[in-house]
Structure 1
Amino acid sequence: MVAKEEPIVTEAPASVSKSERVYRTLRERIQEGQYTSGYRLVLDQIARELDVSPVPVREAVRRLEAEGLVTFTRNVGAEVRGVDVGQYTDAMQTLAWLEGAATGLAVTHLDGERLARARSLNEDMRDLLGDHFDPVRFTALNEQFHRVLCGACPNEHLLGLLRREWLHMSLVRRSSFAAMPGRPAVSVEEHDRILALVTSGAPPDDVERAVRDHKLRTMNEYLATRGRTSRA
């Protein structure tokens, strides 16, 4: 007699603490751009909206402050932190070299399934271009594209470094494409060229250089845009 398979028991949503629920909600709103740089987090207002006391809201804000997403000033309150240009530059430079190296090493291990997935993601990015551009969605697809290519890298230590930097970048940047209206279309074209290099059997060094330059061009465009904005 075949033993009856036990049902999988999942954690009930109610088991999530109020502080954790508030933290997840606020973090999601910051990551998705609903709360932009300088947005004031009024604790009492958030508490009423989420039907909790101010205590779990205060605890959630402290966690967000520790992650660098929020700044808290005595007698002023909490507000969403803007992108730190120095941290952004450091993170992008690091990712440029790590993603370039990982993709170069992955070239001989990229199978048809991974390449098809990368092409599909790039087409999804292309579909977002236009009047209804969604920078948050575009940023998420962009990261997935590079994760797919880098995922075939046989060097697990390098992949571990990359995962930590991707997480760090998600805290530093959120979405920078919103500030660069001309960059998304160019980025998609550069993805096309990277895929063409891979499928044509180009030397790994050429693929590595193309990925690195692609990332650095995004960084340089963002910094140039910030410079123009600050002078306006």
Structure 2
Amino acid sequence: MAIHWSAPWFAGVAEAGRAVQAAQAQGLPLPEALNRHAPGPLRAVSQSALPDGQAYEAFIAATASVPTRENLHDLFNGLIWHRFPDSKRQLNRLQAQAIAADGVGAVRGPLRDAITLFDENAALLRAPEPLWRALRARDWAELFVAQRGAWACARLLPFGHALLEKLAQPYKSITAHVFALPVPESLGDDLAAWDAWLATQLDAARLRAKPFTPLPVLGVPGWWDGNADPAFYADAAVFRPPRAA
């Protein structure tokens, strides 16, 4: 599948993504392409290396290897391992600890559910406080229309690999779970610093509380041509009002 790496939501992974896809086009399997062109702290291996019955997260923690299938989902997972190595290792550490303590079980439980949600669909936001206030209030008109100019000083960065996979074929209702802690302004656009900061914020107590706020990402100014018209945000099926108390 052709991926439009120039899209703003791919900015954090585009360079490595192009290199990995070029290597795949030359015949390299995805795990080898990732290891060569987007190396992370752990080695990507074929999905066949995961023994039947062993939990994926426990295998990663035990072997320092990430089972990888030949699909977009795992391509983006590998790219996030490359871009956010410390944070991905922390999420895996928490998953493995929970599995060791409680077993796999029929359901993940609140902590593992929250970790999985973060891993699959989270986004990080560095933004001025007026944007954060509007986002927390789900005041879409304020966030995207009245405060539109403030987005020039903001950056939204997808972290979840399932979120990136959806954005490979974008549609209006794609919604990220924005991590409720603002990325410090002092970090600027240094994504290695973002990773180091994020890894220190990911702990079991915080994640159990599900510290997320929803954001329909194609509402971000500059991310979608249609959102230049304020009427774009009148779609209440996508830009949902806050729940009644």
**TM-score after normalising by structure 1:** 0.28
Instruction: Report the structure, 1 or 2, having the larger helix content.
Output: 1
Higher relative contact order (CA 8 A, sep 6+): 1
Instruction: Report the structure, 1 or 2, having the larger strand content.
Output: 2
